[in-house]
């Protein structure tokens, strides 16, 4: 028997063994730590959610979650990394409406399909956004902020985490509702952008409440409005954008995904751990205290999340096309 034929036979045997081992391997899952790929810099809202959720899911699954902050291009690099990873449950993706929906319409050169190259694991909390400024911004109301921006079009800079990120979509919604604009300064996440806002290197941001609220409470920045239908239970003193005369409603939902082909038993294990995490009273308190809205267990099932994801993808495709938003 020739060398080549022997080699072919061996690999055939190996993949047959792997296939046969699939269900057994899924049963033993997880047998090592799990890499949770975060598309933005440490210290920001998505990183915070990854650490809170990852730490608690690790307790359910008996294996550590390793946080891998892979930044750049508004999360498209991090998502690509998970799409290319082995479908064995040891590399999973956390992301949000920007990284896993809007980017699919904005980045024409993506090498993956956000709806078919990933397996939805579970829906995670939604983060309403706050319109915040540095403390040096002389304004009492959002109307004052808007009038100042209109009177000084090129004077004010605002942070985003890149085109397609939540803070970019928030800025676009703000521009559309107010008719005012500010210069967009891209960062690898709103964690680092927040440091510059506190230091008045930039002056404004539309950012997720979990990232801004602690700094508002500490008096380091000012909040003018929340982009939700109702005031946040965690910050009842902050008016809704609509109350200030500018109807802006954007909530940044998050979720977990695995590479396509990850066995359903593994998706089920991860999903059960995510649901148990959201039922934990301490976790609920921590997330709600940051202004986040938690999904119900019924909304968190892989099937329900897949349907929600698909609907959001179509919704934002229409919004971005109507607004003619393009990657410059």
Q: Interface with ligand MLT by CB under 6 A: which residues?
A: 40, 44-47, 96, 98, 161, 165-167, 189-191
CA atoms within 13 A on the CB side of 189: 21
| Least Cβ distance, residue 146 to ligand MLT (angstroms) | 21
Nearer to ligand MLT, 191 or 302 (CB): 191
**Residue 93 and residue 256 in contact, taking contact as beta carbons nearer than 8 Å:** yes
CB of 40 vs ligand MLT, minimal distance in Å: 3
Q: Considering the complex, what minimum distance in angstroms separates the CB of residue 7 from ligand MLT?
A: 46
Is 32 or 315 the residue whose CB approaches ligand MLT more closely? 315
> For the packed helices 264-279 and 3-28, what is the interaxial angle rounded to 10 degrees?
30
CA distance 49 to 292: 10
Closest distance of CB 39 from ligand MLT, Å: 8
Q: Is 130:212 a contact under the CB 8 Å cutoff?
A: yes
Would you say 44 or 125 has its CB closer to ligand MLT?
Answer: 44
CA distances to 169, 223, 237, 300, 301 from 231, in Å: 20, 13, 8, 24, 28
Q: Which is nearer to ligand MLT, 30 or 191 (CB)?
A: 191
8 Å CB contact between 215 and 198: yes
Pairing of strands 183-186, 91-96: unpaired
User: Could you tell me which of 201, 36, 206, 11 has the C-alpha nearest to residue 127?
Assistant: 206
Distance CA 164, CA 76 (A): 9
51 or 231: whose CB is closer to ligand MLT? 51
Cα 282–chain centre separation: 22
Least distance (Å) from ligand MLT to the CB of residue 138?
26
Decide whether 134 or 301 has the Cβ nearer to ligand MLT. 134
Rounded to the nearest whole angstrom, what is the least distance from the CB of residue 191 to ligand MLT in the complex? Answer: 6
């Amino acid at each position: 028997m020739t060398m080549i034929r022997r080699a072919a036979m061996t690999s055939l045997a190996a993949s047959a063994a792997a296939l046969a081992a699939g269900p057994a391997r899924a049963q033993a899952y997880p047998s090592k730590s799990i890499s949770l790929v975060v598309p933005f810099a440490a210290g920001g809202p998505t990183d915070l959610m990854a650490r809170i959720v990852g730490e608690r899911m690790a307790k359910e699954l008996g294996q550590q979650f390793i946080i891998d902050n892979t930044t750049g291009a508004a999360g498209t690099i991090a998502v690509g990394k998970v799409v290319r990873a082995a479908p064995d449950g040891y590399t999973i993706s956390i992301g949000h409406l920007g990284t896993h929906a809007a980017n699919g319409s904005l980045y024409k050169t993506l090498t993956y399909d956000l709806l078919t190259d990933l397996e939805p694991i579970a829906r995670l909390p939604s983060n309403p956004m706050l319109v915040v400024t540095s403390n040096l911004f002389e304004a009492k109301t959002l109307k004052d902020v808007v009038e100042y921006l209109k009177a000084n079009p090129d004077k004010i800079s605002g942070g985003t985490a890149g085109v397609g990120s939540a803070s970019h979509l928030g800025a676009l919604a703000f521009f559309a509702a107010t008719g005012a604009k500010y210069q967009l300064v891209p960062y690898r996440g709103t964690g680092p952008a927040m440091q510059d806002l506190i230091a008045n290197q930039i002056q404004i941001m539309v950012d997720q409440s979990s990232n801004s609220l602690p700094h508002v409470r500490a008096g380091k920045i000012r909040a003018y409005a929340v982009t939700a239908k109702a005031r946040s239970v965690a910050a009842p003193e902050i008016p809704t954008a609509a109350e200030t005369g500018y109807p802006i409603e954007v909530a940044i939902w998050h979720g977990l995904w695995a590479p396509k082909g990850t066995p359903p038993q593994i998706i089920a294990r991860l999903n059960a751990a995510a649901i148990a995490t959201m039922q934990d009273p301490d976790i609920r308190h921590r997330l709600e205290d940051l202004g986040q809205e938690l999904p119900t267990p019924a909304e968190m099932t892989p099937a329900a999340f897949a349907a929600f994801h698909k609907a959001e993808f179509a919704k934002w495709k229409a919004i971005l096309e109507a607004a003619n938003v393009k990657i410059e």
